[in-house]
Chains A and B, each alone.
Chain A
Amino acid sequence: MRLIKTLLPAITLFIIGCELYDNTELNPRDLDSNYTPGLVFDPSTNSTSIGAAAEFDVFVVAAENISGIHAQIAYDANRLTVTNVSTGDFFTDSVQTGTSSFFVYDDDPIAGVLDINYFYMGNEVTKTGTGKVATILFNTKQSFNESILEITDNSELVDQDDVEVQILTFGSATVSSN
């Protein structure tokens, strides 16, 4: 009995010690074709400390023939501030050389709303596929378990004729600050 009591934990430890890699984390851009096009955050969760920065990328997923993106992000202004917004590269690797892109953002720190506009300049230039729209840097004001960032349904995708393309997925993300 003593022998079994010694052997059993040893074997169990040996087996438990062989922990397998957890591959359950999803790529935010991994959307079913029934739910595209979409605007998503990457990463979908981010942890930081008080006063430190949390960075999120905004991606457009599986868009077809679009010329412009308006992404509106809602955040908790009591807990977060937007410190920086930089352009993505979705419209940068242009199909046509010489075509420039237009990127502008507007942040309302009281309401907690950030509007990002990202367009191709010029006519008859469109882009299809998945790519980065913007990189947003948030700073945390206090300690909290979770604060939600949401891409609101005011966000738009438009084609070369400025016709709205329906967005099927509006992504969200979670920030925590300790």
Chain B
Amino acid sequence: MNIIKNLRLTLPLIFTAVAFSQPSVAVLDFAANGLPEYEVETLVERLRSELPNTGAVRLVDRKMLENILKEQGLQQSGCTTDECSAQIGELLGAEYMISGSIGKLGDSFTVDMKMVSVTTGAAEKAKSLTFDGTTGGLLIEMQILAWEIVDMKPPQPLILKRTGAEDGEKVTVAIMDFDPRGISQLEAQTLTDRFATEVDATGKAILVDRRQMMEVMEEQGYDEAGCTSEECAAEVGALLGVKFMINGAIGKLGDTYTIDAKMFEVATGAAAKTKNATYNGPVDGLITEIEILAWEMMGLKAPRTLLQKRKGTITQEALPAPKTPLAAAVRSAIIPGWGQLYTSNALDNEPLARQKALYFFAGEMGAGAIAYLLYSNMNASNDDTRKFHTDYLAATESAQIRSLKTKSDNASSDAESSKNQLSILMYLLGAVHAYNIVDAYMNGPNEEMASRNNKKIDLVYDPELNQPQLRFSIALD
């Protein structure tokens, strides 16, 4: 009880002490060179809002800054020297002042900022940046600069935003060495390396460099040989800050090789994709198979040149039969929605295609059922018309003649109405069916996904530096 009571008294004091141990910083408005004032204001505001997130500094409130400047009859726009910044900082009670400028030269943005110590009046830190991109990308850069100006590493999500990976253009992936079963460790590593190179070549992934991955694992006390489970791979993935991990096994049974690969999401541990293949043939053909598997793992069709290099036979699912838009269209012509379902299966159960398949099938079946009902009604009314009219022609009594004539006319009218409705429905159904076929063709599985990307210079993700790096590769074969 005493401990809890003591904690209640001391914790607030501790937090306050921690808060006030952080140096206070005020950010002056930056000068605008070749950019509208409001754009520069927006960019500086982003800097201001990111600084508290670093946890390294306390930000002086902007309103307070403006009030004090107003009281003193000072303006931010005229304060460009370190001495002026220090003077304002003294008035605010801040320990540091950040000021700078943002400009535009041609298509490039330039950011120059410095952090001035109020006590000494000297610039303690300076950061400069030249950025070729959009104003939106510059916002991310201002956030990153907020961390760098206070000597902190920017967090992972910001770095990923910079690389465009978070927008879904590319995903960060790390590949664990495939487990050897019946082959040597060296062979397994060689095949893993080739797999990694090919994953990189797809252009859909930013790959963590293997050497750097090993270094991070070693630092964290992970032994790669022992880290074969998915849980371990997920932990490593979390350390590396990647979105997906790939691991697997390569085995040999007699003359048959087996390849099993799994890609799973680090955050959830859920398997995103599983691919396996059984290969019979010369061992050098296994390299081609592992390259093809890399493309399939990234959801792409392997390029024709790679498929043509293939040797031996694949006895299990390693490569799905090529799916084409024409095949999708033919299927949709036979059964509405089948083509869309075929496309969905080709694109790993893409939900929009499945939904369209359901809508087309249900819609056309429903319309078909209504058409059948109308057709039945039309036939029944037509039969009635014939029957009543035949009786009418034979009748002699006036009352009977009148009655039969009325009945015949009513039945004829019903038949005509059903026929008209049927006509409209059939034309509509025809149009929907034609649209279904065209949609299946236009949105069918795209053969152009399998174009090869022979990159010699590529982007590789370095987890240690938390930034992408350029990598040069030269093929020796």
B401 touches A14 (CB 8 A): no
Flag if A130 contacts B430 (CB, 8 Å): no
Question: Which of B59-67, B294-302, B388-396 is found at the contact surface with chain A?
Answer: B388-396
Chain A residues with CB below 8 A from B290, complex form: none
Q: Is the CB of A21 within 8 A of B419?
A: no
**A29 contacts across to B, CB distance below 8 A:** 395-396, 398, 401
Q: Are B396 and A130 in contact (CB under 8 A)?
A: yes
A164 at the interface (CB under 8 A from B): no
B196 close to chain A: CB less than 8 A? no
Residue of B nearest to A61 (CB): B398
Contact B427 A11 (CB under 8 A): yes
Q: Is A15 a contact of B419 with CB atoms below 8 Å?
A: yes
Does B127 count as interface, using CB distance less than 8 angstroms?
no
Which single residue of chain A is at the shortest CB-CB distance from B408? Answer: A23
Residues of B within 8 A of A11 (CB): 426-427, 430
A30 to chain B, nearest CB (A): 5
Asked if B395 and A27 make an inter-chain contact with CB atoms under 8 angstroms apart, the answer reads: yes
Interface stretch, picked from B238-246, B268-276, B344-352, B432-440, is: B432-440
- In whole angstroms, how far apart are the Cα atoms of A7 and B469 in the complex? 57
Residues of A near B389 (CB, < 8 A) are: 21, 23, 25
Within B406-438, the residues touching A (CB, 8 Å) are 408-409, 412, 415-416, 419, 422-423, 426-427, 430, 433-434, 437-438
Chain B's closest residue to A3 (CB) is: B434
Q: Is the CB of A7 within 8 A of B430?
A: yes
Return the contact of A15 from the options B402, B426, B437 (Cβ within 8 A). Answer: B426
B432 CB to nearest chain A CB (Å): 11
- How far is A7 from B379 in the complex, measured between Cα atoms in Å? 23
Interface size class of B (residues with CB under 8 A): 20 to 34
Across-interface contacts of A25 in B (CB, < 8 A): 389, 393
Chain A hits for B452, CB < 8 A: none
Shortest beta-carbon distance from A66 to chain B in Å: 15
A130 to B401, CA, bound (A): 11
What's the nearest-Cβ distance from chain A to residue B409, in Å? 7
Instruction: Mark interface residues in A74-103 (1 if CB within 8 Å of B CB, else 0).
Output: 000000000000000000000000000000
Residues from chain A with a CB closer than 8 A to the CB of B434 are 3-4, 7
The residues in A between 1 and 22 inclusive whose CB is less than 8 angstroms from any CB of B are 3-4, 7-8, 10-11, 14-15, 18, 20-21
Instruction: Give the chain A neighbours of B388 by CB distance below 8 A.
Output: 23
From known contacts A7-B434, A11-B430, A129-B397, infer whether A23 and B422 are also in contact, taking CB-CB under 8 Å. no
- Identify the closest chain A residue to B420 (Cβ): A15
Contact, CB under 8 Å: A20 / B395: no
Is B378 close to A, CB under 8 A? yes
Cα–Cα, bound, A130→B394 (Å): 12
A20 to B426, CA, bound (A): 17
Contact of B438 among A3, A10, A30, A130 (CB under 8 A): A3
In the complex, how many residues of chain A place their beta carbon closer than 8 angstroms to a beta carbon of chain B?
24
Question: Are B385 and A23 within 8 A (Cβ)?
Answer: yes
Q: Is the interface of A mostly helix, strand, loop or mixed?
A: mixed
In the complex, are the beta carbons of B382 and A21 less than 8 A apart? yes
Main SS class of interface, B: helix
Residues on A with beta carbons closer than 8 Å to the beta carbon of B438: 3
Please report the C-alpha to C-alpha distance between residue A15 and residue B433 in the assembled complex, in whole angstroms.
17
Task: Please give the distance in Å from B326's CB to the nearest CB on chain A.
Answer: 13
Q: How many angstroms between the C-alpha atoms of A59 and B434 in the bound complex?
A: 58
Which residues of B lie under 8 Å from residue A14 when comparing CB positions? Answer: 426
Q: Does B386 make an interface contact (CB < 8 A)?
A: yes
B375 in the interface, Cβ–Cβ < 8 Å?
yes
CB of B104 closer than 8 Å to a CB of A = no
B405 within 8 Å of A (CB atoms): yes
Q: Which residues of A contact B395 (CB under 8 A)?
A: 27, 29
CA distance A11 to B378 in the complex (A): 17
Q: When chains A and B are docked, how far (Å) is the Cα of A3 from the Cα of B392?
A: 46
Question: Beta-carbon contacts of A118-155 to B below 8 Å, as 1s and 0s?
Answer: 00000000000111000000000000000000000000
User: Chain A residues near B392 (CB, 8 Å)?
Assistant: 23, 27, 30
User: Are A23 and B409 within 8 A (Cβ)?
Assistant: yes
Shortest Cβ distance from residue B381 to the other chain A in the assembled complex, whole angstroms:
8
A162 to chain B, nearest CB (A): 26
A20 to B375 CA separation, bound complex (whole angstroms): 12
Q: State which residues 316-355 of B face A: CB under 8 Å.
A: none
Bound form: Cα–Cα A61–B430 in Å:
52
With A11-B430, A14-B426, A15-B419 in contact, is A21–B385 under 8 Å at CB? Answer: yes
Contact: B385 with A20, CB < 8 Å? yes
Do A8 and B430 form a contact, CB below 8 Å, given A18-B378, A20-B419? yes
List of B residues within 8 angstroms of A3 by Cβ: 434, 437-438
Q: Within 8 Å CB of B382, what residues of A?
A: 20-21
Residues of B within 8 Å of A7, CB to CB, are: 430, 433-434
The smallest beta-carbon distance between A27 and chain B, in angstroms, is 5
| A15, A20, A36 — most chain B CB neighbours (10 Å) | A20
Output the least CB separation between B373 and chain A (Å): 14
A54 contacts chain B at the CB level, 8 A cutoff: no
Q: Across the interface, name the chain B residue whose C-beta is closest to A36.
A: B398
Q: How far is the CA of A78 from the CA of B446 in the complex (A)?
A: 82
In contact, B422 and A18 (Cβ under 8 angstroms): yes
Determine if A62 is an interface residue (Cβ-Cβ < 8 Å): yes
User: How far is it, in angstroms, between the C-alpha of A107 and the C-alpha of B13 when the chains are bound?
Assistant: 138
User: Do A27 and B426 have beta carbons less than 8 Å apart?
Assistant: no
Interface residues of B, Cβ cutoff 8 Å to A = 375, 378-379, 382, 385-386, 388-389, 392-393, 395-398, 401-402, 405, 408-409, 412, 415-416, 419, 422-423, 426-427, 430, 433-434, 437-438
Supply 24 A–B pairs (Cβ within 8 Å), ascending by A: A3-B437, A7-B430, A7-B433, A7-B434, A8-B430, A11-B427, A18-B378, A18-B419, A20-B385, A21-B382, A21-B386, A21-B412, A23-B385, A23-B389, A23-B392, A23-B412, A27-B393, A27-B405, A29-B398, A30-B401, A59-B396, A62-B398, A130-B396, A130-B397
The 10 A-B residue pairs whose C-beta atoms are closest, nearest first, are A23-B389, A21-B386, A130-B396, A11-B430, A21-B385, A7-B430, A15-B423, A23-B408, A30-B401, A23-B412
